[in-house]
Structure 1
Amino acid sequence: MEWKGFEHGSQFDDVCADGKPHQAPDADCDIGEHTFRYALYPHKGSFAESNVVQAGYEFNVPLVISPTPVDSASFTPRQFFSINKPNIVLDTIKIAEGPLSDTAKPALKTLVLRFYEAYGGRGVFKLTTSLPVASAVFCNVLEDSGSSIPTADLAIPLLRSEKTTTFAIGYAPFKIISIKIELE
């Protein structure tokens, strides 16, 4: 395929000063056919009233179904985490790089949850988990543990039952919140 340039100053002004296409990150980056997807999401009301963040995730990360051999009679669907605010996104659930502390269980028993506030709001959200939680702490992006989740930070266990633990967690506009949870 031959590259055809556009006049400087046009809406397709994606060329270097010598009139050739960009050569970074590699020499073939702008050569050939490119395919992309985009979507329009009409909605009533403001951005915060829409479901645009959820729709964006559904568009960019479509559901993948992977059949597995399981006895449907013995399978019980289970929700591991739920959040009561639509503006809070649980973006990451991963096994921690290390244990919560030196006395904690192995890292496989420690999860990191990463949330962000998507609409510019402020408040408190409730995180409910069906996993057996031993303890929880805030952590940074490098997973360095902070203090345990205290009352002053509005993130304490509100309710602990046989099947669930619920936390109330304060949030600020567009803030990323990382939490390490040690499982029993």
Structure 2
Amino acid sequence: MDVLTREATYDIQYGYVKRPTHINTSWDMAKYEVCGHKWVDVSQADKGVTIITDCKYGFHARDNVVQVSLLKSPKNPDGNCDIHKHFIYYAVLPHEGTFQEAEVNRRAYELNLLASNNVPLLATNLTGAALPASWVTSTNTAVVVEAVKVCAEITRNIVVRLYEANGGSADTTVNLGFTITQVRECNGLEDPGAVVPRTGNSFQTSFKPFQVRSFLVTF
């Protein structure tokens, strides 16, 4: 890459981490491979390049060279492990400014959900819960709708889980494409908490850097 940087940025669940691209210590030398989820980015002040993958989780960045680990192929206990045809999807995304300004997270989700995996949205048979084109959306691109699921214990409730992805404070409006009657914040066990004010089928919320918040939506 035509980029000068001392650190590379790696996507992880609900955020990202930075790791050095140089070798100054034995700790740096041990980071010959760094785990990441959907992407790795190398950027300087005015531009950068992101490598996006759909299912590769090992990366290597030294100076301005970026490598992706494609296969492990161990010889034990299975001597034939990974010896077959593989289809590997990736994208190279040059961008101006920071990876936050380039909406790299959004592009990574697009490749993972809409391109290589071709995952369709399936309609549900729950009364009053037909899926429109925009089911749950966030008006702030820094706030990602990470999961939407049926509540395990409370009927006619879904859980909407969001997180702040860019490492800053963020305000957003969450719009739901169906009629709702109540919104409550909940914890990871889906225990209902305080009622969240709403306007029609929307509600507003704020996030600290990398904060994860979940909401119970009654329909």
User: Which one has the bigger strand percentage?
Assistant: 2
Equivalent residue number for residue 134 of structure 2: 79
> Over aligned residues, Cα RMSD in angstroms?
3.1
Matches within 5 A, 1:1-184: 21=74, 23=76, 27=78, 30-33=81-84, 35=86, 36-62=88-114, 63-64=118-119, 78-99=133-154, 107=155, 109-149=156-196, 156-157=197-198, 159-160=199-200, 165-183=201-219
Q: Evaluate the alpha carbon distance shift between residue 22 and residue 135 of structure 1 in structure 2; reply closer, same or farther with a 3 A threshold.
A: farther
Q: Evaluate the alpha carbon distance shift between residue 28 and residue 57 of structure 1 in structure 2; reply closer, same or farther with a 3 A threshold.
A: farther
Q: Evaluate the alpha carbon distance shift between residue 31 and residue 168 of structure 1 in structure 2; reply closer, same or farther with a 3 A threshold.
A: closer
Q: Evaluate the alpha carbon distance shift between residue 119 and residue 33 of structure 1 in structure 2; reply closer, same or farther with a 3 A threshold.
A: same
Q: Evaluate the alpha carbon distance shift between residue 66 and residue 137 of structure 1 in structure 2; reply closer, same or farther with a 3 A threshold.
A: closer
Q: Evaluate the alpha carbon distance shift between residue 34 and residue 78 of structure 1 in structure 2; reply closer, same or farther with a 3 A threshold.
A: closer
Aligned residues: 138
Unaligned runs of 5+ in 2: 1-29, 34-72, 124-131
Q: Secondary structure at the match of 2:158?
A: strand
Q: Evaluate the alpha carbon distance shift between residue 87 and residue 34 of structure 1 in structure 2; reply closer, same or farther with a 3 A threshold.
A: farther
Identity %: 24
**Higher RCO (C-alpha 8 Å, min separation 6):** 1
TM-score by length of 1: 0.63
